[in-house]
Amino acid sequence: MTLPLKFSPEVAKARADGAPIVALESTIITHGMPFPQNVETARLVEAEVRAHGAIPATIAIMDRRIHIGLTSVQLDQLGQATNVAKLSRADLAACLASGGTGSTTVAATMICAKLAGIEVFATGGIGGVHRAAETSFDISADLPELAQTPVTVVAAGAKAILDLPKTLEYLETHGVPVIAFGQDDFPAFWSRSSGLKAPLRMDAAAQIAAAHLLRGRLNIPGGQLVANPIPPADEIPRAEIMPHIEAALADAEAQGIAAKAVTPFLLSRIFELTQGRSLTANIALVLNNARLAARIAVEIGKARRDS
Ligand code: PSU
Ligand code: MN
Q: How many CB atoms lie within 10 A of CB 254?
A: 8
| 13-46 residue pLDDT tens | 999 999 999 999 999 999 999 999 999 999 999 9
Gap from CA of 205 to ligand 2 centroid (Å): 31
Gap from CA of 126 to ligand 1 centroid (Å): 6
> What average pLDDT does the segment 93-108 reach?
98
Query: Is residue 1 scored above 90 in pLDDT?
Result: no
Ligand nearest the Cα of residue 24 is 1
The answer to whether the CB of 109 is under 6 A from ligand 1 is: no
The answer to whether the CB of 103 is under 6 A from ligand 1 is: no
Q: Which atom of ligand 1 is nearest to the CA of 263?
A: 19
Distance CA 53, CA 12 (A): 16
The answer to whether the CB of 26 is under 6 A from ligand 1 is: no
DSSP state of 231: P
- Domain boundaries in the chain? 5-304
Gap from CA of 271 to ligand 2 centroid (Å): 19
> What average pLDDT does the segment 42-55 reach?
98
| Residue 257 confidence class, pLDDT cut points 50, 70, 90 | very high
The answer to whether the CB of 228 is under 6 A from ligand 1 is: no
Query: Is residue 90 scored above 80 in pLDDT?
Result: yes
Gap from CA of 17 to ligand 1 centroid (Å): 32
Dihedral angle sign, alpha carbons of residues 236, 237, 243, 248? positive
The answer to whether the CB of 141 is under 6 A from ligand 1 is: yes
What CATH number does the domain located at 5-304 have?
3.40.1790.10
Ligand nearest the Cα of residue 91 is 1
Q: Which residues are catalytic?
A: 25, 159
Distance CA 63, CA 48 (A): 28
Structural element, H or E, at residue 302: helix 277-306
Terminal CA-CA length for the chain: 34
The answer to whether the CB of 86 is under 6 A from ligand 1 is: no
The answer to whether the CB of 67 is under 6 A from ligand 1 is: no
DSSP state of 129: B
Residues in the chain: 307
Displacement of CA 58 from its chain's centroid (Å): 11
* Closest residue CA from atom 16 of ligand 1: 127
Backbone angles phi, psi at 196, to 5 degrees: -115, 145
Triad 296, 301, 305: Cα angle to 5°: 145
E strand segments, the chain: 5-7, 21-24, 55-62, 65-68, 85-87, 102-104, 120-122, 152-155, 178-181, 185-188, 191-197, 200-202, 224-227
Indicate the pTM of the whole model. 0.97
| 136-171 residue pLDDT tens | 999 999 999 999 999 999 999 998 899 999 999 999
Q: Select from 78, 106, 230 the residue to mutate for testing ligand 1; criterion: most ligand atoms less than 8 Å from CB.
A: 106
* Closest residue CA from atom 11 of ligand 1: 105
Query: Is residue 281 scored above 90 in pLDDT?
Result: yes
